[in-house]
Amino acid sequence: TSTSMPMPRYSLAEFRYGREEMLALMPKDIKMPNCLRHFPLLIRENFQIPLALTPVTEEEQRLWSSRSVNSDLAFRASGKTGP
């Protein structure tokens, strides 16, 4: 029983929520917080259902199944010419 690398000990968070829990805890009646009213260009009056609960569009599917999700600029930064 050997360990190759000493792992740092991280303090475990007390309040943890998995993705499904976060989604399940979405309240039924949600009012817009007043602070958002200062940003008319950024807000939606009606609550928007999280994308996690909406189907992936065909376009998204196409992008995810393409050869890479990275932009062309990412390849330029990496020194490679393309995926």
Partner 1 sequence: MNNIATLKSAVTGSGSGNSSPPPSPPPLNGCPNGQLDCLELSDPEEDEHRLQYAYVLWFSQRQSGKQNNVQPYDQNLKLIGGFNTVEKFWAVYGHLIRPSEMALHSDFHLFKYGIKPMWEDEANKDGGKWIVRLKKGLASRCWEDLLLAILGEQFMVGEEICGAVVSIRFQEDIISVWNKTANDQHTTIRIRDTLKRVLNLPPNTIMEYKTHNNSLRDKSSFRNTDVFLH
Amino acid in the structure at residue 81: T
H or E element, residue 47: none
Question: Residue 58 half-sphere exposure, CB side, CA atoms within 13 Å?
Answer: 0
Q: Report in angstroms how near the CB of residue 72 gets to partner 1 at its nearest.
A: 7
Residue 57 CA to residue 67 CA, distance in Å, equals 18
The residues in 7-26 that bind partner 1, with binding defined as CB under 8 A, are 7-8, 10-19, 21-23, 25-26
Q: Any contact of residue 83 with partner 1 (CB under 8 A)?
A: yes
Q: Are 82 and 67 in contact (CB under 8 A)?
A: no
Count of residues that bind partner 1 according to CB under 8 A = 58
The residues in 34-63 that bind partner 1, with binding defined as CB under 8 A, are 34-36, 38-39, 42-45, 47-52, 56, 59-60, 63
Q: Are 48 and 75 in contact (CB under 8 A)?
A: no
Task: Give the interface with partner 1 as residue ranges (CB under 8 A).
Answer: 5, 7-8, 10-19, 21-23, 25-27, 30-36, 38-39, 42-45, 47-52, 56, 59-60, 63-64, 66-75, 77-80, 83
